[in-house]
Amino acid sequence: MNIKTLLIMLAIVLVVAAIIYISWSRTSGRKLNIGLAIFPLLMATATGGYLLLGNPLGADPSKQFSENGDVEQFVNAVTTLEKKAAADPNNLDYQIMLAHSYRAMGRYDQSVAAFGKAWERVKNDPQELSLFAGTLAVWHGSFEGKPDELLSQALKIEPNHPDALMLSGGSAYQKQQYKKAIDLWKKIPLSKLEENDKEWVEAQIADAEKMLTLPSENKVSHPN
Torsion of CA 3, 18, 180, 150, to 10 degrees: -60
**Confidence check: pLDDT of 7 > 90:** no
In this structure, how many other beta carbons lie within 10 angstroms of the beta carbon of residue 105? Answer: 17
Element (H, E) at 12: helix 3-28
> What span, in angstroms and rounded, lies between the C-alpha atoms of 130 and 55?
10
pLDDT one-digit tens code per residue, 85-109: 999 999 999 999 999 989 888 899 9
Please give the residue that has the higher pLDDT: either 62 or 160: 160
Beta-carbon neighbour count of residue 69 at 10 Å? Answer: 16
pTM over 0.85: no
Kindly list the distances between the CA atom of residue 115 and the CA atoms of 20, 49, 167, in Å, as whole numbers in the listed order: 32, 19, 18
Residue 116's pLDDT band, with cuts at 50, 70 and 90, is: very high
Please identify, in words, the CATH class of the domain defined by 3-218: mainly alpha
Tell me how far apart the alpha carbons of residues 127 and 97 are, in angstroms, rounded to a whole number: 13
Which amino acid type is present at position 162?
Answer: P
Query: CA-to-CA distance for 164 and 123, rounded, in angstroms?
Result: 14
Q: Of residues 184 and 73, which shows the higher confidence score?
A: 184
174 has pLDDT over 60? yes
What DSSP string describes 19-76?
A: HHHHHHHHHHTPPP-HHHHTHHHHHHHGGGGHHHH-S--TT-HHHHHHHH--HHHHHH
Residues 129, 119: Cα–Cα separation, whole Å? 9
Residue 223 is predicted with a pLDDT of 56
For residue 60, pLDDT over 90 is answered with: no
At 219 the pLDDT is 54
| Distance in angstroms between the alpha carbons of the first and the last residue of the chain | 27
25 CB-near residues (< 8 Å, 6+ apart)? 31, 32, 33, 37
Condensed to tens digits (0 to 9), the pLDDT of residues 134-147 reads 999 999 888 999 99
pLDDT at 15 over 80: no
pLDDT at residue 50, rounded to an integer? 43
Q: What is the pLDDT of residue 77?
A: 83
pLDDT reading at 216 higher than 70: no
Q: Is the pLDDT of residue 36 over 80?
A: no
